[in-house]
Each structure stands twice: as structure tokens, then as C-alpha cells.
Amino acid sequence: MAAARRQRVAAILPLLKRAYPQARCTLDHRTPLELLVATILSAQSTDQRVNIVTKDLFRKYRSARDYADVPQERLERDIHSTGFYRSKAKAIRAMAKALIEDHGGKVPDTMEELTSLSGVGRKTANVVLGNAFGKNVGVVVDTHVTRVARRLGLTRHTDPKKIEQDLMPIVPQEEWTLFSHLLIHLGRAICQARSPRCEQCPIQSHCPSAETFLRDRLKKQTVGTSRKP
């Protein structure tokens, strides 16, 4: 079973790389701290919305000290449109204080140290490690990766931690960060939740779900045509 899934990954990786040569983290950032803040803000929000907010935010706050010292209410106003702004502001300020107290104001580059920070889970840590430090420690699993990986038959789980554990043994470690970006790009452009565009998918021939989607779509079209007077 694992061997078959590993072969499927080996087949789809070059196709996805060819389809999405510019696949990368879509959260705008220049430093590990900026990426860490942006990733915290991205929870229950879109990368596009976060990038709009951080364009001004990153001009105002340039260091962990800036985030640690800003009053809660002011930071809430600055990040309000990302949603859940109270909890996010609280997490960012607590994270910044921990960076100052425990890490000299710098973002650490290990999974253990990152996940000890307020508001930072494994997914956020994987984003920072893979994209700010170039370390493939794990696979980022968001809603797009969850959906696409399940449709590709690479996992049967819905829990991100279990999905990550399924993906890590079948994806080459040096590709872990890129693999997430590729699935996210595919999920946004083609393999959408409600109406996947299987006809346009660059890996359709390797997807066990594509035949079902296409058959169901053809059936609906046939039914619709037969009902016309």
C-alpha cells in the first residue's frame, strides 16, 4: 500500500512542478519573524487578506520588541480584518515576549522551540522552518493539502497530524516543503472543494478520484439533457 502511494507521488511530482514552476509560500515576508506573524494571522483567513494587512503592519512593527510592547487594543485594530483579532493579537504579543526572554529576540529554527511559542502549532512551525530556514522538518497540511491528498488516495485521514504522518514516508524529505505548495496551488486552481476541474488537471491520469468525478458530471449532464423538451 505504501509502495503504491510512493509510486504515485513519484509520478505526480514532476507533473506538478511543470504545471506550477513558481509554487512557493504565498504569504509575503522578508524575515522569519514576518513569516511567523503572517502565519499566525492566516488562521481562518486568506493569504490575500493577510498580505493586505501585513503590508502596513510590517512597516510599523519590525522586531519582537515592537510586538511585545504594543498595547493589545492597538494591535487588535491593526489586524482586525484577518478575523479572530483578539486571540491573534494576544498570541503575537505573547510569542514576541517569549522570543525576547528565551531567544534573544530571534525566531528559533527548531520544531521544539517554535511549538513552545504561544500561537504556534506544528503547521505554523513547518511553514516557518521550510520557508524561512529551508528546513524540511515536516509537511504543511492545510485544507487544500487535506482535500487533494485524500482525493489522490495518499491518505484516508482528516486529522492534519495523521495526514502529515501518512505523507512524510512517501514524499522525499527534500521535497516536503515544495510538495505542500504544489498541492495548495493545485487545490486553489483545479482541485476545488465543490467542483474540481478534473478535465484541466495535470495529474488526472494518476488520480483515483478523477474517474468518479467525471462520471458523475457526465451523468448530471445526461440527465439534464434528457429533461429538456
Catalytic residues: 123, 142
Which residue is associated with the grid cell 474540481?
196
**How many of the other CB atoms lie within 10 Å of CB of 46?**
12
Q: Give how far Cα 93 sits from Cα of 3, 62, 84, 85, 113, Å.
A: 45, 13, 14, 12, 17
Q: For residues 85 and 71, what is the distance between their CA atoms, to the nearest angstrom?
A: 13
For the beta carbon of residue 210, count every other beta carbon within 10 angstroms.
19
Report which of 127, 145, 146, 147 is spatially closest to residue 137, judged by C-alpha positions: 127
What Å distances lie between residue 227 and 113, 137, 152, 221, CA to CA? 62, 54, 34, 10
d(CA 135, CA 138): 9
Q: What sign does the CA torsion over 216, 222, 225, 229 have?
A: negative
CB 63 within 8 A of CB 32: no
